[in-house]
Structure 1
């Protein structure tokens, strides 16, 4: 007589435990990072105000400090080029097996350089660096406890999600951003670890910074259905503006080539230009969350809003195009809020909209502008809900974000972080091209892999499928195995061919 045996399946439990560990460490690192930037920005604003009040001799000190900051950051970027920019394309490249980074080198250099660059008042965001810091923490934990390649990627993803959660107190957006924008697949192993890490990291950040949402603009009036025609126009305009932002940001990196400076020294230019800007408009320094919060109290007239958008758009391009460590996430949200307010003010002038709904247009503008530029509408909607602290505007957020997304898609605009990753990979020196790596590729509905037998798929040369994962099952890649949506296939290929292989397997039918 056969005896039934019972045993616990601890696989998912270990994913959650490891993800939570990454969340604890990331929450501490990013909270210190975030606090340091906030104190630094506050100091710089006070310094510029002090100079404007008649103490002009201090201007020499400010110039010297910024020069020192520029030199320090330049040396850090020269030693570790992968800390340049937001860090999100680098994390995406890691999870796609196209980049191999030194976690400790990234962690401490990005931490120091990010505080110096963002804290000096440049129009850069903390979220991208926070995501890369979290990914470095996740990679460090994976290498310490010696997990396999798949679990290592899971912990890197958990760290990335935890970084965004701690930066913005937005745990659900952290998970969704990793799934929608970075990992491009709804893998159970990935989302479990990411959710565990995000919740813990957010809890630590909440203890440090309090429970008030990051962009708590106050009570938002409910938008009546009769105004949805105006929301359609809002989405169309923000989609076009988002497409313009994409093209301008990519072009800004090329413009710096005209300076003929070594790439790592480009940061000296915005660090010098930020000084007159700080003297003229100290409240406009930084990522811009203070400006969004100010809109909750008073929405300025259209001329002031236009001037703010113009200055922030131009200087954001100057800041990010230089390659200084800093993100575009928060600057995008700020521009979205200002653009939404401008469009709302135009409707008010024509008598189509009550001024009481201007704050709604600013909030919806943040989501739609980010959805257009990042082509990540789900992340945009959830992020704004968590950052603003309102769940009563899900429908207008979703509607306008979808319209803005479709506009960029019709214009053939690519997700901005994907474009930045492609630019990064093109600039990488082609070392170790013959190294074999294992790609983890999801089987998505509507692609060439769906409902196909393995033998019928046109595999590229020097590529070999080693395993198929279906739920908790690991299947041998027999020729007659039919691939189903939700499966994950593991492909062994040369690193130089990895991008081409992945693109061919994700090709739409």
Structure 2
């Protein structure tokens, strides 16, 4: 027994235990957040039905919605880090470009997100859930007096746990951290994040049951003879995804034209949602109910075009205002509508059997998200876990790849990185001047591969402290040869961390 304990990697065991702790807390917080939004969403159609029957009640309802916008505005004014989805802020924390107060963000994002997403605005719960999970992790790191490096690992695990609880998608939560946030594969990060995501998902399943979030029933396998349609769909999704990016990044400039303080821009979507609720109460919110409805029956092409226009336009109005809410679920909803449109057109033009319309709804969700977020693996696994079907990995992969290539050709960047860049430019970052460790992976084709440590031109204000090669830790010296798969640990100050990473990447 003693020999067995001696062989255990105690560091990894400790981080897995901390991941379980983060996942448990994040799972409870995000599940309560999700539960509140869903319960309010169930009542909204009834409220708007009564308002339509009693028009005089619209006056106090309008005043109430303006009051809610004012409350959320005050929360944003007191802490601007709760604006939007929260994912750029989490990525900024991990890059030492953004500093936040975890308790302030935790409760203000929780309240502001419920008021914004729960009242029917076209916003998603997943971005706020990721930031809530990260805030829980940051709070635990503070209580444990963790080092800066350890805090970042816990932040990553909190983000994974948040996404896992929001969508019952633990593998997608892990992939999101690896592919979208870190862009590399660190053993401690993935172990801690995976433990947190699994624990958080277990808590969420306890609240909401085992059925997948977007369960569409039995979905037939798409025959190989229809795969050429996936290439056309991928091209369409890539073009529309790039258009989405352009419009989303321009929203801040458009909203700046309004004679309103930035923290009170939410009054516009809070008021404009009222006529939508009166006439179309069942399309309010992030859109998961629309995806489920499309899986049951296909509206006419005209109805789908109108739904696509309304969802796209008001999603932009909602998110551009800076209200606490995400774009994950609205993007998936738009993708599902595009997929349904494409499939219905293909049935009349290319002889696609109507039974496969549901396939294109699922496939287009992944392709559209892959185009906009430029995170195809996350998109594929996220949709697979949400739908609960494994028979579409090949068509999902093909469509996501084509959409990704098209956006890349059109000059699109990952949307969350673009939002982070805009966030950092728009505010002064309050750095605390502590030591930190940044990780640089040695990838295929990198100038680091096969290079001696002394032969690389390293930036100032840093020390190459450690080199990870598999499970081995190597203390580097001038004659150490860096190889593919290595992860370099660089010791620096938080003030210089982001510029060092940028300088090294520019040389690769």
Give the shorter-chain TM-score range: over 0.9
- The residue number in structure 2 matching 1:15 is 15
CA–CA distance in structure 2, aligned partners of residues 147 and 499 of structure 1? 21
The within-5 A match list for 1:120-269 is 120-269=119-268
- The residue number in structure 2 matching 1:50 is 50
- Distance apart, 1:507 and its partner CA: 4.1
Q: TM-score, normalised by structure 2?
A: 0.96
- Distance apart, 1:77 and its partner CA: 0.8
- The residue number in structure 2 matching 1:479 is 478
- Distance apart, 1:57 and its partner CA: 1.9
CA–CA distance in structure 2, aligned partners of residues 326 and 424 of structure 1? 16
Q: TM-score, normalised by structure 1?
A: 0.95
- Distance apart, 1:283 and its partner CA: 0.9
Gaps of 5+ in 1: none
The within-5 A match list for 1:17-96 is 17-52=17-52, 54-96=53-95
CA–CA distance in structure 2, aligned partners of residues 159 and 17 of structure 1? 13
- Kindly indicate whether the alpha-carbon contact (under 8 Å) linking 1:433 and 1:494 is maintained by their aligned counterparts in 2: no
Q: After alignment, is 197-206 or 139-148 more displaced?
A: 139-148
Please list the CA deviations of residues 376-433 of structure 1 after superposition, one character each: whole Å capped at 9, or x if unmatched. Answer: 1111111111100111111111111111111111112100011011111111125459
CA–CA distance in structure 2, aligned partners of residues 493 and 13 of structure 1? 27
- The residue number in structure 1 matching 2:110 is 111
Distance 1:8 1:235, change over 3 A: closer
3-state SS of paired residue (2:312): helix
Q: How large is the RMSD of aligned CA atoms in angstroms? A: 1.9
- Say whether 1:469 aligns with 2:468: yes
- Distance apart, 1:493 and its partner CA: 4.4
- Kindly indicate whether the alpha-carbon contact (under 8 Å) linking 2:97 and 2:431 is maintained by their aligned counterparts in 1: no
- The residue number in structure 2 matching 1:375 is 374
- The residue number in structure 1 matching 2:316 is 317
- Distance apart, 1:352 and its partner CA: 2.5
Please list the CA deviations of residues 432-469 of structure 1 after superposition, one character each: whole Å capped at 9, or x if unmatched. Answer: 59776543322222223222222211222333333333
- The residue number in structure 2 matching 1:360 is 359
3-state SS of paired residue (1:405): helix
Gaps of 5+ in 2: none
Q: After alignment, is 394-403 or 5-14 more displaced?
A: 5-14
Distance 1:36 1:430, change over 3 A: closer
Distance 1:50 1:494, change over 3 A: same
- Kindly indicate whether the alpha-carbon contact (under 8 Å) linking 1:217 and 1:295 is maintained by their aligned counterparts in 2: no
3-state SS of paired residue (1:469): strand
3-state SS of paired residue (1:118): helix
CA–CA distance in structure 1, aligned partners of residues 312 and 486 of structure 2? 42
- Kindly indicate whether the alpha-carbon contact (under 8 Å) linking 1:447 and 1:507 is maintained by their aligned counterparts in 2: no
- Kindly indicate whether the alpha-carbon contact (under 8 Å) linking 1:37 and 1:115 is maintained by their aligned counterparts in 2: yes
3-state SS of paired residue (2:464): strand
Please list the CA deviations of residues 103-133 of structure 1 after superposition, one character each: whole Å capped at 9, or x if unmatched. Answer: 1111111101000111111000000000000
The within-5 A match list for 1:262-411 is 262-411=261-410
- Say whether 1:100 aligns with 2:113: no
The within-5 A match list for 1:437-476 is 437-476=436-475
CA–CA distance in structure 2, aligned partners of residues 218 and 4 of structure 1? 47
